[in-house]
Structure 1
Amino acid sequence: MSSVCLKIMTILCLSGTATSDPGSSGVVLKEIGRDVTIQCRNPQKDQESLALKKGLNMEFDVFFNRHDSKKVTIAMDFRGRLQYNGLFPNIDILIKNVTSKDTDTYWCVYNKFGTPVTKNGEGSILLVVTEPPRDSLVPRPPCDQSNNNNNYMILVLVVIGAAVLLGIIICLLVWIITKTKSLRSAKKPRRVATNDVYEEMRGTIRL
């Protein structure tokens, strides 16, 4: 922990606070498995090579490129997960799938052949790789999926039951209405008028 604090203090003193501008220097926090881009920018002209060095004392070469050659050199530990983009001297270096071992200081170092002086370019960073949040590491219990399936089945059954009940009610209402209309439309029996009174009156008149 003390070494990390020392690195943070060192790079802050040498490079200033972190910013989001291209080629800026500062502390970069990344979770394990994420990617980080180091944007190396040349502060002076007439530089002939760029080396991305790792370590507080720049003791480990991660990446090397000469301006007069398209060939680059990548350290064994970073092969397969390091990509670069751009033209010398302004090159963006992408490190994929960072691990806790990648936590360190990274320097963009430019060199002019024939002179012993090297220049620290813009873009040097202190990379701090952290563990992801605990919530993202805990897998969801399998019962959650089964509970969701059970809730879905219950909902489907309720909907089907409601639809069947509604269909029965509609059929019953249609049957009642049809039956009522049929009873109303049935013909009532007619009363046949008798002529008994008329015949009796005729017989009385004859007498």
Structure 2
Amino acid sequence: MVMSLLKCLLFYFSFNELTTAAEAILWVKTGEKFTMKCSTTLKDQDGMYLYVGLDRDREVLYYYQRGSKLTSRKGYWDRVTTEGPVDQLTITVSNLTIEDTGVYWCVYTKVNKSTFNNFSTQGKGSTLVVVNDDAPQLPCPTATAVTLTPFHLANEKLCPSGVVNIIIIIIITSLLTILLCAVIFLIWVAPRVKRCCNQGGSTPQVFPESVYEDMARKHTYPPDTQVES
């Protein structure tokens, strides 16, 4: 399953980019191993790095030419072995998992002893490794034409077109009637109701108690009030 999906993805999206970057392609199963060879025509190289990923995302190992010292990185301990000189180095990675899928690069390094600058050069032998599980492979999906047919229940009776048209006309007529009544109310009824409210009786004048007390001190009385003799 994973193998088939990966093949499809490589074919449709990035197969051209991967195959251009890699000089070889290996298809292996989980738990197995793969072997690749890194080489260079440059002489007296100090060491070689092995990276995995299109952008060299992860470092696999560093092989130091002096003393033939191999340093495996985390995740590759006890899984990597080498054979031969640094300029013709054969590398084997065992006990593979799906996460080991990627492009493996060889990068050679040499230090200039006078300037102490480190020069890096890509070596030959970059390999695309695709790790597959043991699930059965399925072919890549292909586009097929599908014809859709209307579905109806066994006892379903379709309404005649004439009845449907009548129902639609009744609904539209009802909506138009409601809309017309709302317009008539806003244009004709609402202004008259407002006018009647504005022409209502006047509000009687009310004097607070403080006003009466002040008038009593000044011997004045509110309008329309008679004083008994």
Letter aligned with residue 20 of structure 2: C
Please identify, of 105-114 and 39-48, the stretch whose mean Cα deviation from structure 2 is larger: 39-48
Q: Which residue of 1 aligns with 2:162?
A: none
Q: Which residue of 1 aligns with 2:132?
A: 130
Letter aligned with residue 121 of structure 1: G
What SS does the corresponding residue of 1:76 show, helix, strand or coil? coil
Moved over 6 A (4+): none
Distance in 2 between residues matched to 1:88 and 1:28, nearest whole Å = 22
Q: Which residue of 1 aligns with 2:28?
A: 30
Whether the 8 Å contact between 1:7 and 1:56 is mirrored in structure 2 is no
1:65-80 equivalences under 5 Å are: 65-80=63-78
Structure 1 segments unaligned to the other structure (5+ residues): 16-24, 136-207
Q: Which residue of 1 aligns with 2:93?
A: 95
The structural deviation recorded for 1:10 is: 2.8
Q: Aligned residues: percent identity?
A: 25
Whether the 8 Å contact between 2:45 and 2:86 is mirrored in structure 1 is no
Q: Which residue of 2 aligns with 1:86?
A: 84
Query: Which structure dedicates a bigger proportion of its chain to helix?
Result: 1
The structural deviation recorded for 1:124 is: 0.9
Normalising by structure 2, we get a TM-score of 0.49
In the comparison of the two structures, how many residue pairs are matched? 126
Distance in 2 between residues matched to 1:121 and 1:129, nearest whole Å = 23
CA RMSD of aligned residues (A): 2.5
What SS does the corresponding residue of 2:45 show, helix, strand or coil? coil
Structure 2 segments unaligned to the other structure (5+ residues): 1-5, 138-229
Q: Which residue of 2 aligns with 1:9?
A: 16
Quick one: structure 1 residues 8 and 38, their matched pair in 2 at CA, closer, same or farther if it must change by over 3 Å? farther
CA-to-aligned-CA distance 1:6-40 (integer Å, 9 cap, x gap): 6643342234xxxxxxxxx2211111111100111
Q: Which residue of 1 aligns with 2:102?
A: 104
1:34-49 equivalences under 5 Å are: 34-49=32-47
What SS does the corresponding residue of 1:53 show, helix, strand or coil? strand
The structural deviation recorded for 1:107 is: 0.2
- 2:43 pairs with 1:59: no
Quick one: structure 1 residues 58 and 7, their matched pair in 2 at CA, closer, same or farther if it must change by over 3 Å? farther
Whether the 8 Å contact between 2:39 and 2:86 is mirrored in structure 1 is no
The structural deviation recorded for 1:123 is: 1.2
The structural deviation recorded for 1:99 is: 0.7
Q: Which residue of 2 aligns with 1:113?
A: 111
Quick one: structure 1 residues 12 and 117, their matched pair in 2 at CA, closer, same or farther if it must change by over 3 Å? farther
Distance in 2 between residues matched to 1:3 and 1:44, nearest whole Å = 37
Distance in 2 between residues matched to 1:55 and 1:111, nearest whole Å = 19
Normalising by structure 1, we get a TM-score of 0.54
What SS does the corresponding residue of 2:19 show, helix, strand or coil? helix
